[in-house]
Amino acid sequence: MTKEEAKKRIDELNQLTAYHAKKYYDEDDPEISDFEYDLLMTELKNLEKAYPEFMSANSLTQHVGGTVKDGFEKVEHEVPLQSLQDIFDFEELMAFDERVKKTLGIESLKYVVETKIDGLSVSLEYVEGKFVRGATRGNGLVGEDITENLKTIKTIPKILKESVTITVRGEVFIGKKEFEQMNQKREENEEPLFANSRNAAAGSLRQLDSSIAASRPLDIFIFNVQKSESLLFESHVQSLERLKKLGFQVNPVAKLCRNIESVIQEIQEIGENREDLSFGIDGAVIKVDDLVYREKLGVNAKTPKWAIAYKYPPERKETIIKDIICQVGRTGAITPMALLEPVKVAGSTISKTTLHNEDFIKEKDLRIGDHALIQKAGDVIPEVVCVVKEKRTGDEKIFEMPKVCPVCGGLAVREEGEAVTRCIGIECPAKLYRNILHFASRECMNIVGLGDEIIEDLLERNLIHNIADLYDLKFEDFANMKKDGKKFAQNLMDSIEKSKKSEFYRLINGFGIKNIGANAAKQLVKKYKNIDNLVKASIESLTMVEDMGEKRAQSVYEFFAQDQTKDLIERLRKAGVNMESEADVVLDERFAGKIFVLTGTLEKYSREEAKKIIESFGGKASGSVSKKTSYVLAGEEAGSKLVKAEQLGVPVITEKEFEEMIK
């Protein structure tokens, strides 16, 4: 390689590593695997070593890649939270051992081998035994104050068993089982899946709203004493034992090894048994046990000289894509799934994996009958890496997304700008639970008492197969559900009966038409007056409705054009559900285009009442503050939303000012 080529490649690697570090550390949304990133960093280090004149001060070989997120207070670490040098084979490990022993002038050395937890590194500060502050690693010197988020983690002791002042370092993570359950729930709700448990843990802790962290199954292992004013240790093993006695949950895999040969055996054993661990790892950490030796060895700008990380390569196996089928989620998302020739990868047998969407299949050029390489992303989620194209015979079949729902036969639609294809059939069994929950909600037909558990029970007993079945339910269907069954049953029957007289726009909103909420439903009712006029409306006519647009108009037209919808309307009509507007829907447009966010407790209005007032004037109530927010309506004990509004310069109004606006 010439000097010009070396400089060009170093510049490319600096740009690549900076980009991927930002995606990993700051956005918690990596685009490549840890292993691929580590290989880029290793190549950059080797080139900088060979051509030091081209080393940049901004190179990530010289510092950790994280930054402090807006909204968090900065925390300067008294003891830097450094990263570790990565190695990928035992030759590099032997070289590390020789280098350390030569520096110390000794012939033998004890090491501690620990699992390298795949999570987010944090520091915890305790004063006289009380937890006072927690922070992310950030760039190693300055991190983010995430104390409130860390307090939601049950395995972080708030008070230690001894009154000591100490700073420790640990790794926040989400266990394998908990991660799978969380992603399964997100898939059911059609939320983006986390690529791996590290993303999930980091994304949870780096939220300004601590309730998000509280809702996630976060855990922590402590692995190092950063600073202590009163506790003195001679070895790392000794410090871990004392941390346990103080009440910390320490890394459960930490073995003392007498020499480098024992270290290699332990690394191999961890690699062989990593699938049996309840938490994800991305390597093994090798540390000098003697703390005096650590002091003598010292540190580099970014890494300690007394520790190193051995990274396991992701295991990939070849298999055959036997078929591609489609599954329908609760909100109608149609997801392609690859059925595989069973193959054992990283300790478990894989026979199927999600292919996400149509674009993913086209990008990878996947076909039925293809040989493909499979790996586990983050040691948890099986994924197709690539196709082995040289093994194609010509008999492979190109997959096409279905035009109709494979469950109910309803229309399958992929809207412009979206990656997901959805079933829009109102009676689709796969999305029935979500449809009924929405239909019965307060914003729609307001069937009080018909919550998620009751709906689940009705579905399990095959008492409801579509929305109209709600109006055929009998007293006896509810009477045995609760201790006070008769009273509960009567109240629910009364609520179902009352819903028949709901305003017409609530029924339209309750249908769950794509892109149509309460305000759009009101505009439709205002123009068409009754269900028959709406069913007959053309796309051209619908686009003339205020704030409708072509996309919404298309959704409405396609929904009412389906036979499923027409059958449902007739059944609801026979049940006596209101399908017309007795009077014009009057919409005062004073808040048109305005977005309000409510925070704190109002004196005269509940949040729901204030929301309805805002919507009645054409405005929108949002749950989060952004640059698009028009006003934040702040009551007593306003929280983080008020802080964010002030940071973004969003106007904050009081309840009194709000009342002036609605007079």
Whole-angstrom distance between the N-terminal and C-terminal Cα of the chain? 76
Of the three residues 382, 398, 414, the one that is the final residue of a domain is 398
**Within 10 Å of residue 581's Cβ, how many Cβ atoms?**
17
Asked if residue 415 belongs to a domain, the reply is no
Share of the chain above pLDDT 90, in %: 48
State the Cα–Cα distance between residues 477 and 72, nearest whole angstrom: 52
In this structure, what CATH number is given to the domain that contains residue 494? Answer: 1.10.150.20
Q: Is there a single domain that holds both residue 127 and residue 261?
A: yes
CATH number at residue 255: 3.30.470.30
Q: Do 302 and 385 fall into the same domain?
A: no
Band the pLDDT of 346: cuts 50, 70, 90: low
**Whether residues 546 and 612 fall in one domain:** no
Residue 103 lies in a domain: yes
- Model confidence pLDDT, tens digit, residues 539-563: 989 998 887 888 899 999 999 999 9
Do 322 and 304 share a domain, yes or no? no
Strand residue runs (E) in 18-160: 74-76, 86-87, 111-117, 120-127, 130-136, 142-144
Same domain, 603 and 564: no
Is residue 464 assigned to a domain?
Answer: yes
Instruction: Kindly state the tokens that stand for 242.
Output: 């004392």
Catalytic residue numbers? 116
Q: What is the mean pLDDT of the segment spanning 631-636? A: 90
Last residue of a domain, one of 274, 294, 310: 310
CATH number at residue 389: 2.40.50.140
pLDDT of residue 3: 80
In this structure, are 137 and 175 located in the same domain?
yes
Task: Say whether both 333 and 294 belong to one domain.
Answer: no
pLDDT, residue 70, reads: 54
Residues 305 and 340 in one domain: no
Q: Is residue 351 in a domain?
A: yes
Least confident of 262-266, 457-461, 570-574: 457-461
* pLDDT for 90: 94
Residues 616, 538 share a domain: no
Are 619 and 476 in a shared domain? no
What is the per-residue pLDDT across 139-150, written as a single tens digit (0 to 9) for each? Answer: 889 999 999 999
- Give per-residue pLDDT as tens, 362-385: 999 999 999 999 987 655 678 898
% of the chain beyond a pLDDT of 70:
93
Residue 583 lies in a domain: no
In a domain, 206, yes or no: yes
- Stated pTM of the model: 0.54
Statement to judge: residues 300 and 322 lie in one domain: no
pLDDT for position 27: 59
Q: Which amino acid is at 130?
A: K
Q: What is the pLDDT of residues 444-465, one digit of tens each?
A: 999 998 988 899 889 888 899 8
Per-residue pLDDT reduced to its tens digit, 54-80 = 887 777 776 555 554 456 789 999 999
514: in domain: yes
Domain boundary among 310, 337, 366: 310
- The string of DSSP codes covering 357-390 is SHHHHHHHT-EET-EEEEEEETTTEEEEEEE-GG
Query: For residues 168 and 231, which has the higher predicted lDDT (pLDDT)?
Result: 168
User: What is the arithmetic mean of pLDDT over 189-196?
Assistant: 73
Provide the pLDDT for residue 611.
87
Among 51-55, 468-472, 531-535, the least confident range = 51-55
Number of structural domains in the chain: 5
Whether 478 has a pLDDT exceeding 60, the answer reads yes
CATH of the domain at 38: 1.10.287.610
Which pLDDT score, from 0 to 100, does residue 128 have?
94
Check pLDDT > 70 for residue 31: no
Given this model, what pLDDT does residue 304 score? 94
Instruction: Tell me the range of 27-36, 346-355, 567-576 where mean pLDDT is highest.
Output: 567-576
Q: Which of 137-151, 229-243, 479-493, 564-578 has the lowest mean pLDDT?
A: 479-493
Contacts 24+ apart (CB under 8 A), 336-345: 336/361, 336/399, 336/401, 338/366, 338/372, 338/384, 340/372, 340/374, 343/317, 343/318, 343/319, 343/374, 344/317, 345/315, 345/316, 345/317, 345/374, 345/375, 345/376, 345/382
**Residue whose token pair is 């790392």:** 236
Q: Which residue bears the tokens 């959704």?
A: 555
Q: What does the pLDDT read at residue 71?
A: 63
pLDDT tens digits for 162-175? 999 999 999 999 99
pLDDT of residue 302: 81
Res 379: pLDDT: 53
Mean pLDDT score of the chain, rounded to an integer? 87
Task: Please give the Cα distance from 285 to 369 (Å, whole number).
Answer: 41
Q: Which residue has the tokens 């030796």?
A: 293
Q: Is residue 161 assigned to a domain? A: yes
pLDDT (tens digit per residue) in 277-335: 899 888 999 999 999 999 999 998 789 999 999 998 777 889 999 999 998 876 688 99
Same domain assignment for residues 541 and 476: yes
Say whether pLDDT at 393 is over 70. Answer: yes
- Model confidence at 475, pLDDT cuts 50, 70, 90, reads very high
Q: What is the per-residue pLDDT for 156?
A: 96
pLDDT of residue 69: 45
Domain that holds residue 657: 595-661
